[in-house]
Each structure stands twice: as structure tokens, then as C-alpha cells.
Amino acid sequence: MAERKTRSDDEWRDRLSPEAYRVTRQKGTETPFSGALCGLTRPGVYRCVCCGTELFRSTAKYDSGSGWPSFFEATGDGAVVEREDRSHGMVRTEVTCATCDAHLGHVFPDGPPPTGLRYCINSVALEHEPED
């Protein structure tokens, strides 16, 4: 796992767009089908918009029809942290960046093989780095 990255709230506000700040630092959610990465199929890696940690690979991305980029696995052990989320009257599993604690989205047990997982991730929480 990468070295932990922490910043003050003011530093995060200065580094991120207002929408990225709202989603990643305040546990928000972008509107479904609004994110630039939702339909992207270009090969590459997906990094945390806050700290640049590699979180997902395009080889694990699929179209879940949910309106958010979806992946069946994260990159390696320890890239993301999963925590119980009881907000909004539901019980879900929140996914955060293991390096900087950015809120990324949620993971659900209704994904495709081989994992059966659907990491439903806010597009604004990610940066896509295309393969060369």
C-alpha cells in the first residue's frame, strides 16, 4: 500500500473541482449517467482524483447499466478500503481510497464473474490514464 496522504480541508478544496470535493471529501454521489468516464472503453488505469493512487484497471471495467463506472475488482490488495455505510436509511458497503480516504462509491454483490462484485464508482472520483 502507498504511503498515506492527508491534507487539510482547505487544501482539498484548492486541489479539487467543487464536484470532486463534494463527492470525495463529503461522501456525495454524482448524478447517474453524468460522469465522463461512465461509457469510456479506452484501455488504461483508473486513479484516485485526489492522490493519484491506481485503483482499477480497464480490464475489470464493464457496463452495469447503473449510470456509474463499474468494475468487478479493484487493483491489487489494499488499493481500496470497504466500510459499512448505514446512511440514507440503507445498509451498503462504501469504497474509499486506501491512500487518502477519498469516498469513491459503493460495492455490491451483484456483479459478473469472476468476482460477482460491482464496484459502482463515481466518475468524478477517478482520473483515467490511457495505456501507451
In which residue ranges of the chain is pLDDT below 50?
Answer: none
Single pTM value for the model: 0.92
Please give the pLDDT value at position 90: 86
What are the structural domains of the chain? 9-31+42-130 (2.170.150.20)
- In this structure, what DSSP letter does residue 88 have? G
Which of 125, 115, 120, 122 shows the shortest CA–CA distance to 92? 120
pLDDT of residue 2: 57
Q: What share of the chain is helix, strand, coil (3-state, %, to 5)?
A: 20, 30, 50
Over the stretch 20-33, which tens digit does the pLDDT of each residue have?
999 999 999 999 99
Which positions are catalytic?
A: 120
